[in-house]
Chains A and B, each alone.
Chain A
Amino acid sequence: MFNRIFAIAKKETRQLKRDTRMLFIVFFFPVVLLAIFGYAINFDVHHIKIAVYDQDRSEYTRDFINGLISSEYFDLVTNIDDDKEIKKLLDEKIVQAVVVFPKDLSRKLLSKQEVKIQFLVDGVDGNSASVIQNYVNAATYSYSIELTKEYLAVNGKNMYVPIDLQPRFWFNPDLQSTRFLIPGLMGMILIITAVISISLSIVREKERGTIEQINVSPLSSIEFILGKTVPYIVISLINAGIVLLAGYILFGIVTKGNILLLLLGTFAFLFAALSLGVFISTISDSQQVAFQAANVTSLLPSLILSGFIFPIESMPVAIQVLTNITPAKFFIVILRAILLRGAGISAFWDQLVYLGIFGLIFIMLATLVDKKSKNK
């Protein structure tokens, strides 16, 4: 049995080596996705270069600035003491934003008057500008709340915030650290390459007629599918490694949890994803159809419904139910637990079960469709 699986795996690897289109999909595609998302996450909103024009020079302004630059979003480039420099700094793109504190800031705060802080943002790149603006707003808002709390505490009262402002950002909804996105990216890359590659490679045998020869041989369907998936599992693991490496280089993420658990979770996820791919291959007659079907079932759901970008808790209930159509959802929970929190298996064993169920459902569906086509 192992010899036969090995024969298939070897043959598949040899074909893959000569198939530039497939190689492009399984290796280049992940790199492109990584570059696009990595860029979007990393460079647009990270390390915004700011200059400060502090006319007040008080404890408050220092606090505020420290708050800004202690996050990974703002870097203080320079302090200035003349408003003529503002234009020059922005024009020459030495900074992306300038914060201006008015002279009377601390006096006004102490006498409980409203205070205005000015942010001058380079608006040439509208997209970055609005991202910067949102960040600044959020930072200001949270500092403002802090001041209020402090003030109330001094007066012996607790704070109650009737309406809480919660700014949401496209790439980083909760203003969480960007490291939060790496698990989603990994889930998305793995599911796309796994589903597309396995479904295409099976449908190609149907299209060319070589499957007939396989069907009359003593190979069982299980051996055939196992043999076919081996190379793609190896590739998926390599891709997972690449994403982890990129996460480390770009965002300094070091895997906190157990590597073996990470491997276990990845295998469970690949089982689910490959089952989906095998199922797609049974309902498609051409590589073109399979490619479309694989794209529709893997790319969009793993981008939109998996919790990668949009938090699932804030979706309408009906959509929350729908999120179960992508195994990436479960995998992301596992990855976040292992990568970011270093959690043990007790934190995500239920997700492993869901992945198992997901995989079994699609393997069963595939077997049913396959049986039917035998009598057709």
Chain B
Amino acid sequence: MNTIEVNNLTKKFGKFTAVDKVSFTVKQGEIFGFLGANGAGKSTTIRMLIGILEPTFGDALVGGFSIKNEPDLVKKNIGYMSQKFSLYNDLTVAENIRFFAGVYGLDGKKYEERKKWVLKVANLEHMENVITGSLPGGIKQRLALGTAVIHEPKIVFLDEPTSGVDPISRRNFWDLINELSEGGTTILVTTHYLDEAEFCNDIILINAGKLIAQGNAKALKSNYIKNPILEIESERVVDSLEILEKEKWVGETSIFGNYIHVILNDNKINEGNIIHLLTEENGIKVQRVEKIIPTLEDVFIHLIEKDSKKNVQ
């Protein structure tokens, strides 16, 4: 069953098109990753899907309600955590929870129960009276997620919930997302950390407002890059890269720290050719060359470059 169905969703700000005919579906209970660089149009799409920004064209059904015609019903059925910190920094933890519970009409036993749950997931069980602004970033984000789902919505939108958070806290945060998902909640989450995309059941990638790839991580890796990829570890990384880029059989290249990834245009080329080129012709010592399965990063760099070239033409 599809919980979210997006159909040709488009948003224009004046002449500028921020979201361009985007369509996709999200199944119930899945973690749906929404990827794209800064300014790709992720937040704009989400703000339309939660009913606070009107689309220019197109529509979407969220939990069965049209975002265009029934935005108020959409709002009733979702939880949302915005990209900016969404709690009040000048209130205490308990006051923030109390406020959002009040807004969603929770009281009595239900309120006590949910409050307990939020404090537990945020790891703030004995810190109710701490001013929220003074908490560390990772804890703040967990508290924000907890309060965003205090009314137990079936669909949750998270806009870059882990940006600016340290890796361990990010890990904890994803544990929480998984927990929600196991409970049957559908989660749509934007991020630009590609390692996080690996945790998603399904992923879409948007670039300059357009959807350019879709599928789960495994499918993306095998469907979008057919040619072999080599990972090269050598001295003088930048020089090596320049030399490689001059060759006809080299497609796209990228640097990952000390490594170079090369997508080959020619199936006949192998590790030996690389060592020959770098070491024998140019005197650069090569520690290691091996064929690898592409990472999501390879896939996205490949797709975005392809898309940009298309746009130039």
* A7 and B54 form a contact (CB under 8 A): no
In Å, the complex CA distance between A216 and B79 comes to 8
Contact between chains at A15 and B88 (CB < 8 Å):
yes
Structural contact, B86 and A376, CB atoms closer than 8 A: no
B103 lies within 8 A of chain A by Cβ:
yes
Interface of B: prevailing SS:
loop
Instruction: A339 to B82: give the CA distance in the assembly, Å.
Output: 51
Residues of A contacting B107 with CB < 8 Å? Answer: 3
* Residues on B with beta carbons closer than 8 Å to the beta carbon of A219: 103
Any B CB within 8 A of the CB of A209: yes
Q: Is the CB of B54 within 8 A of A10?
A: no
Taking a contact as CB atoms closer than 8 A, the residue among A15, A209, A375 that contacts B86 in the complex is A209
- What residues of chain A lie closer than 8 Å to B89, measured between beta carbons? 208
B296: chain A residues at CB < 8 Å are none
- Asked if residues B99 and A10 are in contact (CB atoms below 8 Å), the reply is yes
Which of A6, A7, A216 is close to B51, meaning CB atoms less than 8 Å apart? A216
A4-B82 in contact given A210-B87, A215-B52, A374-B52 (Cβ < 8 Å): no
Alpha-carbon distance A217/B13, docked complex (angstroms):
25
CB contacts (< 8 Å) of B86 on chain A: these are: 209-210, 212-213
A213–B52 touching, CB < 8 Å: no
Complex CA gap A15/B100 in Å reads 15
Nearest residue in B to A209 (C-beta to C-beta)?
A: B84
Is A116 an interface residue, CB under 8 A from the partner?
no
The listed residue (B53, B80, B105) touching A213 by CB distance below 8 A is B80
Q: Does A14 contact B (CB under 8 A)?
A: yes
B104 located at the interface, meaning its Cβ lies under 8 Å from any Cβ of chain A in the complex: yes
Return the contact of B102 from the options A3, A19, A212, A216 (Cβ within 8 A): A3
The verdict on A213 contacting B82 (CB below 8 Å), with A4-B102, A218-B76 known, is: yes
What B residues does A215 contact at CB under 8 A?
52
In the bound assembly, the distance between CA atoms of A6 and B91 in angstroms comes to 16
Closest partner residue, chain A, to B47 (CB atom): A212
- Asked if B78 and A216 sit within 8 Å, CB to CB, the answer is yes
- Give the nearest-CB partner of A6 in chain B: B102
List chain B residues, Cβ under 8 A from A10: 98-99, 102
Chain B contacts for A112, CB-based, 8 A? none
CB distance from A95 to the nearest CB of B (A): 56
Contact status B52-A212, CB under 8 Å: yes
Known A209-B82, A210-B86; contact A216-B50, beta-carbon cutoff 8 A: yes
Min CB gap A135→B, angstroms: 52
Given contacts A374-B52, A374-B53, contact A217 B103 (CB under 8 A): yes
Known: A19-B90, A212-B86, A218-B76. A3 touches B54 (CB 8 A): no
Within 8 A of A (CB), among B28-61: 47, 50-54
Contact A212 B88 (CB under 8 A): no
B75 at interface by CB-CB < 8 Å: yes
> Is B198 among interface residues, defined by CB-CB distance under 8 A?
no
Complex Cα–Cα for A330 and B197 (A): 62
A4 touches B105 (CB 8 A): yes
CA distance A6 to B99 in the complex (A): 10
Interface members, chain A 197-244 (any B CB < 8 Å)? 208-210, 212-219
Q: Is A103 an interface residue (CB 8 A)?
A: no
User: Which residues of chain B come closer than 8 Å to A4, judged between CB atoms?
Assistant: 102-103, 105
Verify if B85 is at the interface (C-beta below 8 Å from A): yes
A375 touches B103 (CB 8 A): no
Contact partner of B91 (CB less than 8 A), chosen from A14, A216, A218, is A14
User: Which of chain B's residues have a CB closer than 8 A to the CB of A376?
Assistant: 13
Answer whether A208 and B84 are a contact pair too, CB < 8 Å, given A7-B103, A15-B90: yes
- Chain B residues whose CB sits within 8 angstroms of the CB of A6 once the complex forms: 102
Query: B95 at the A/B interface (Cβ < 8 Å)?
Result: yes
How far is B89's CA from A8's CA once the two chains are assembled, in angstroms? 16
Task: Assess the B87–A216 pair: CB atoms within 8 A.
Answer: no
**In the complex where A212-B86, A217-B104, A375-B54 touch, is A11 in contact with B76 (Cβ < 8 A)?**
no
Report 10 cross-chain contacts, Cβ distance below 8 Å, ordered by A residue: A4-B103, A6-B102, A18-B90, A208-B84, A213-B86, A214-B103, A216-B78, A216-B80, A218-B103, A218-B104
For the A-B complex with A212-B82, A217-B100 known, give 10 more contacts whose Cβ atoms are closer than 8 Å: A3-B102, A4-B103, A7-B98, A10-B98, A11-B88, A208-B89, A212-B47, A217-B103, A374-B52, A375-B54
